[in-house]
Chains A and B, each alone.
Chain A
Amino acid sequence: MKQRPKILLVDDDADLVAVMRGALESKAYEVIVAYNGQEGLEKAKKEKPDLVVLDILMPVADGFTFADQFRKEPSLAKVPVLALTGFSESLGQPFAFEVSEYISKPIKPKDLVVKVEEFLKKTESQG
Chain B
Amino acid sequence: MNSTYSEEGKAADYPPEQRALLLRLRVYINLRWLTILAIIIATIVASTLFHISFPTLPVYIICAIIATYNFLFFHLTRRLEKQEPDLVVRRAEAYSYTQVILDSAILTLLLHYTGGLENPFIFLYIIHTNAAAIFLPKRRVYELTTLAMMMVTGLVLAEYFGIIPHVNLGGFVLPFRYLDLSRIVAVLVALATLAYATVYVATSIVGELRRRQREVVALKDKLLEQRAKELEQISAEVVKLVDERRHFVRFLSVVAHDLQSPLVATQSLLSYILDGYTGEITEGQKDLMHRGIRRIDGLLTLITDLLDIPRIEAGEVKREMREIYLNDIIKQAMDGLDSLAKQKGLELKVELPESYSKVYASGRRLQQVITNLTSNSINYTRDGVVLVRASEGDEDVRIEVIDTGIGIPPDDLPRLFEDFFRGSNVGAKGTGLGLSISKRIIEAHGGKIWAESPAPETGKGSKFTFTLPKAGVAVKESEPKTYKG
Chain A residues near B (Cβ < 8 Å): 13, 15-16, 19-20, 22-23, 26, 57, 86-88, 91-92, 105-110
Residue of B nearest to A57 (CB): B257
Determine whether the beta carbon of A88 is less than 8 Å from that of B367: no
Q: Could you mark each residue 364-403 of chain B with 1 if its beta carbon is under 8 Å from any beta carbon of chain A, else 0? A: 1001100000000000000000000000000000000000
Q: Is the CB of A88 within 8 A of B277?
A: no
Q: Do residues A13 and B364 form an inter-chain contact, with CB atoms below 8 A?
A: no
Q: How far is the CA of A13 from the CA of B261 in the complex (A)?
A: 8
Could you tell me the distance in whole angstroms from the C-beta of A87 to the nearest C-beta in chain B?
5
Tell me if B304 and A23 are in contact (CB < 8 A). no
Instruction: Flag B290-312 by CB within 8 Å of A: 1 or 0 each.
Output: 00000010001000100110000
Residues on B with beta carbons closer than 8 Å to the beta carbon of A91: 364, 367-368
Contact A16 B277 (CB under 8 A): no
Q: Which residue of A lies closest to B307 (CB)?
A: A88
Identify 19 residue pairs between A and B in the complex whose beta-carbon atoms are under 8 Å apart, listed by A's number.
A13-B261, A13-B265, A15-B269, A16-B265, A19-B271, A22-B272, A23-B275, A86-B260, A87-B260, A88-B256, A88-B308, A105-B264, A106-B264, A106-B267, A108-B271, A108-B275, A109-B268, A109-B272, A109-B277
- Closest chain A residue, CB of each to CB of B261: A13
Counting chain A CB atoms within 10 Å of each CB, the highest count among B272, B277, B368 belongs to B272
Residue from A23, A86, A88 within 8 A of B272 (CB atoms): A23
Closest to A84 in B: B264
Whether A19 lies near B269 (C-beta < 8 A) is yes
Determine if A16 and B268 form an interchain contact, defined as CB atoms under 8 angstroms apart: yes
The 4 closest A-B pairs by CB, nearest first: A106-B267, A15-B265, A88-B304, A19-B272
Measured CB to CB, the closest approach of chain B to A24, in angstroms, equals: 10
Query: Judging by beta carbons under 8 Å apart, are B268 and A22 in contact?
Result: no
Asked if A92 contacts B364 (CB within 8 A), the reply is yes
- Contacts A87-B304, A88-B307, A91-B367 known; list 20 others, CB within 8 Å: A13-B265, A15-B269, A16-B264, A16-B268, A19-B268, A22-B272, A23-B272, A57-B257, A87-B264, A87-B300, A88-B260, A91-B368, A106-B263, A106-B267, A106-B268, A106-B296, A108-B268, A108-B275, A109-B275, A109-B277
Shortest CB-to-CB span from A112 to chain B, Å, is 9
Contacts of A13 in B (CB 8 A): 261, 264-265
Q: State the Cβ distance, B228 to closest chain A Cβ, in Å.
A: 44
Interchain CA distance A106-B307 in the complex, whole Å? 18
User: Closest approach, in angstroms, between the C-beta of A108 and any C-beta of chain B?
Assistant: 5
CB-based A-B contact count at 8 angstroms? 58
Among B257, B296, B364, which residue has its beta carbon within 8 angstroms of that of A86? B257
Do the beta carbons of B271 and A109 come within 8 Å of each other? yes
Chain B residue nearest to A91 in the complex (CB): B364
Measured CB to CB, the nearest residue on chain A to B368 is A91
- In the complex, what residues of B have CB within 8 A of residue A26's CB? 277
Say yes or no: B275 contacts A110, CB within 8 Å. Answer: yes
Q: Whole-angstrom distance between the alpha carbons of A86 and B260 in the complex?
A: 9
Q: Which residue of B lies closest to A14 (CB)?
A: B265
* Most A-side CB within 10 Å, residue of B265, B268, B300, B308: B268
Question: CA separation between A15 and B304, bound complex, in Å?
Answer: 22
Residues of B within 8 Å of A108, CB to CB, are 268, 271, 275
Contact A107/B367 with A13-B261, A16-B264, A22-B277 known, Cβ cut-off 8 Å: no
CB distance from A67 to the nearest CB of B (A): 19
Query: Across the interface, which residues of A come within 8 angstroms of B300, CB to CB?
Result: 87, 106
A109 to chain B, nearest CB (A): 5
Q: Which residues of chain A are within 8 angstroms of B367 by Cβ–Cβ distance?
A: 91
In the complex, A107→B341 CA distance in Å?
23
Chain B residues closer than 8 Å to A19, beta-carbon distance: 268-269, 271-272
* Complex interface: chain A residues within 8 A of B304 (CB): 87-88
Q: Which residue of A lies closest to B371 (CB)?
A: A91
Within 8 A of A (CB), among B56-95: none
Which chain B residue shows the least CB distance to A106?
Answer: B267
Contacts of A106 in B (CB 8 A): 263-264, 267-268, 271, 296, 300
Q: Which of A57, A86, A88, A107 contacts B268 (CB 8 A)?
A: A107
Closest chain-A Cβ to B224's Cβ sits at a distance in Å of 49
Q: What are the residues of chain B within 8 A of A23 when measuring CB–CB?
A: 272, 275, 277
Contacts of B275 in A (CB 8 A): 23, 108-110
Q: Which of chain A's residues have a CB closer than 8 A to the CB of B271? A: 19, 106-110
A86 to B254: give the CA distance in the assembly, Å: 13
B319 to A: closest C-beta gap in Å: 12
Chain A residues closer than 8 Å to B368, beta-carbon distance: 91
Bits for B414-447, please: 1 = Cβ < 8 Å to A, else 0: 0000000000000000000000000000000000
